[in-house]
Structure 1
Amino acid sequence: MKRAIREKVKLLEQTYRDTAECIFCGATPTTDEHIFSRWTHKYMLPAKPGKAKSYVAVKHIDRVVGANFKLPGPIRDWQIRCVCGPCNNGWMSQLDTAVEPLMMPLILGQQTRLFEKQCEQIAAWAVMKSMVVHNKWVHHTRRKFLKKAKRPPKDWAVWIANYNRRDWEGEWLSWPVAVRTDAEKSPRRKAAYNAHVTIQIIKDLYIHVTNLPYEGFAAKFRFRRSDGAGLNVVRIWPYTGTSIVWPQKALQDEDAMMASEAVFRFLMRNDDAARRIAGA
C-alpha cells in the first residue's frame, strides 16, 4: 500500500473514534454523546437529506494529509460513543444545561456581557465537545483535568466571534496538527498528532478552539486577514481580564473562513514561528 493511502487509512481510523472506555474516567460501558447539543439544533442550518460530509486535514512538519469522511446522517445528529452514562448524564449534562442560557444571546446576536465565570463555562463546554471529537489526540491527563476542574487545561484556548452567515455552510471544522515541541528535533522527523483546531458554528456564534503544546500561544496570536487587517475574534479562554460586550462587529463569510484556517495555516507555514510566539 502506498504511503499516502496508508496515512489516509490511519487518519480515518483515528478520527471521530468510538471507544470502549469513557475518555474522561475510564468506566464502561460507553454511551453516545451529541457533538451538537440538542438545544442547539433549532438554530442550525436546515438538515439536508443523506449523510453529512466532513473533511479533515492533518498538518505534518513536511506535508499535509487530508481525508474525506461521511457521517452516519445529518451533522446535527452526529454522535460519538466515548463517554460513560454517569459522565454523560452527570457533570457533562450539568455543564450543557449551565451554558445554554449564557450562549443563547450569543447565538441570537442579542445584547449581553460575559464576565470571567461565564467565559470559563462556555470555554469548558466548547473544549468538552472538541475533546469528544478528537479523543484519540487528547492526552488522558487533559481530559481528566476538565472533568475534575470544570475548566479547560491551560494549554487550550477558546475564541468566539459574532458571525453574519450568508452562503458559507460550515458548521464543524477540524484541523489536526503534528508539531514539534523540541527545537532540536530534525525538521524531517515525523511528529505525532499532538494538537488540533476545531471550529463549531451555531447560527450567529462562531467558536474557535485550539489545543497546542505552546502555553503562551493564545495570548500573543492575532487573527488577521490575508491583507494584514485584524479579524474581530475575541478570546474567552484563557480569560483576558476584561469582560466582553456582545454583540461584537460581525464576521462575514470570507472573514469566518479565514479565521477558521488562521492557526492551521500559520503552523503549516512555520511551526518554529509558533514556538517563538509562545516563548517556547
Structure 2
Amino acid sequence: MPATCVFCGSADTLTGAHVLGDWLSKIGLDPAPVPHGAGWLNRIGRELGLRPPFRQKVRDVCGDCNHGWMSRLEVVAQRVLTPLILGQPGRIEAADQGAIAAWVQKTALTAMLVSSEADRGRGYGLPASEYHELYALRNELPPLPASQFWAGRYEGVRGWSIRVTPLAVRVDGLPEPDRPQAYAMTILLGQLVLQGVRLTTAILQVELSN
C-alpha cells in the first residue's frame, strides 16, 4: 500500500515538512546544533543526534498540504510570534488567535510524526482523525473544537522544545481508561511558551483554567 498524507489521505508524492517552520532559523535564535530525540508517549527514549535546531523534517505530508494550508499557518505564525519569541513587545490580536492556535495544534501533530510507526502504534500516536479533522478546517484555519490555548513569557535557559502529553481522566468507581481522552501541547520558542489542551472525548469537553 502506498504511503498517504496523514492530513488529507492523498497518495500524491510526500514531501519533507518541517516540524518547526524554517523561518525560525532566520529570526536571530541560536543556530548552534543541539540534541534531538523522540520516543514513545513523548519520553525521550531515542536519541536522534546533534543537528541544527528548526531543521527536523518528517515525510508524512503531501505537497498540497505542506505548501498550502500549512504554509499559510506558518506565514501568520512568523508575523505574529517573531517579536514574542525574541522577547520584544507584541500582541496576538483577536483576528489572529484562531490561526495561532491552529498553528500550535498543527505543529504538535507534526512533531509526533518524528517517532517511528512502531512507537506510535504502541500508544504514542493520536487517532488519525485528529489529523483529518484539522485538515477539514483548512479553509478557515481555526484549531480543532474543544481546544483551549494560553501564551506566556519564558525566562528559563532552554531555547526550544515541543512536547505532546496524552491525558486521561480518573473517576472514582470507574476503571481507568486505556486510551487518552485528551492531550496537552507545549511549545517553547525563545522567550515564548505556548500551551494548549485538546479534549478528544465529547463527554469531557469542559472549560479549563490555567
Gap runs ≥5 in structure 2: 114-119
User: CA–CA distance in 2 between the matches of 1:176 and 1:56?
Assistant: 12
SS in structure 1 opposite 2:16? strand
2:158 to 160, 165, 169: 169
Is 1:186 the counterpart of 2:197 in the alignment?
no
Aligned residue number for residue 192 of structure 2: 205
What amino acid does structure 2 have at the position aligned with 1:159? Answer: W
Where do 4+ consecutive residues of structure 1 move more than 6 Å? 181-184
Compute the displacement of 1:140 (Å). Answer: 3.3
Deviation at 1:34, TM superposition (A): 0.7
Calculate the TM-score normalised by the size of structure 2. Answer: 0.75
What is the CA deviation profile of residues 96-138 of structure 1, one whole-angstrom value per residue up to 9, with x for unaligned ones? Answer: 1133111122222333333322111111111111111235533
Which residue pairs with 2:205 in the alignment? 215
Aligned length in residues: 190
Deviations 1:59-98 (A, max 9, x none): xxxxxx9452222533421111111011111111122113
SS at 2:59 equivalent: strand
1:45 aligns with 2:30: yes
Deviations 1:133-155 (A, max 9, x none): 23553333332332232111122
CA RMSD of aligned residues (A): 2.9
Residues of 2 paired with 1:194 and 1:74: CA distance? 34
Match of residue 59 from structure 2: 81
CA-to-aligned-CA distance 1:174-205 (integer Å, 9 cap, x gap)? 24325258876413x6x124543232222121
Between the aligned residues of both structures, percent identity stands at 23
- What is aligned with 2:111? 133
Assess if the C-alpha contact under 8 Å between 1:55 and 1:67 holds in 2.
yes
Contact 1:33-1:81 at 8 Å conserved across structures: yes
Counterpart check, 1:71 vs 2:61: no
DSSP 3-state at the match of 1:176: strand
1:36, distance to aligned residue in structure 2 (A) = 1.5
Which AA in structure 1 matches 2:29? Answer: M
5+ long unaligned stretches in structure 1: 1-18, 59-64, 223-280
Q: 2:83 matched to 1:105? A: yes
